[in-house]
Structure 1
Amino acid sequence: DALSALVRLRAAEHELNAATLVDRKRLAQLAQGTPITEVLSGWRYHVVGATLEAFLAGHTSLARGTGGTPVVTSIE
């Protein structure tokens, strides 16, 4: 799904394992509106949390870029 794709994208950009950023259970909770402290604070927030917040608030979208690479774009 889109949230998982965002996590994988940010993990790849920072050369991290996606599960290190947020596991599927917490990602599902976040999608349902439950604030997840581990993702919405500290270093994880800077790596992926802000991106997830913006996406869930409708401020960004996920699209396919050149060669099918996922790209986060601003909606404003």
Structure 2
Amino acid sequence: DSYDELTRLMLRIESDELWKGKEKTTFMAYMGLMQQYHKSFSKANGDNPVQQAIDALKSHGDRVDDFYDEFQEYKDMEDMQ
């Protein structure tokens, strides 16, 4: 995924030593921020907030569906349409 690709790129830049001084420090700081951003979307990240939100919404949707499936008054109201 994009996080792994970015991590490999950063390791390559670090090991190639083509970048020096302030340019390298600035670029690596920027890439570090990008790496953190991409990590939030990585499937390998156990704390993946995006996946947590998706899972929570799915769970909520399932509970809402279960509630309405068992709510006879709501079913009766739907039949009135």
The question of a shared fold, defined as TM-score above 0.5 by the shorter chain, is answered with no
Between 1 and 2, higher relative CO (CA 8 Å, sep ≥ 6) is seen in 1
TM superposition score normalised by structure 2 = 0.25
TM superposition score normalised by structure 1 = 0.26
Highest Rg: 1 or 2? 2
* Larger relative strand fraction: 1
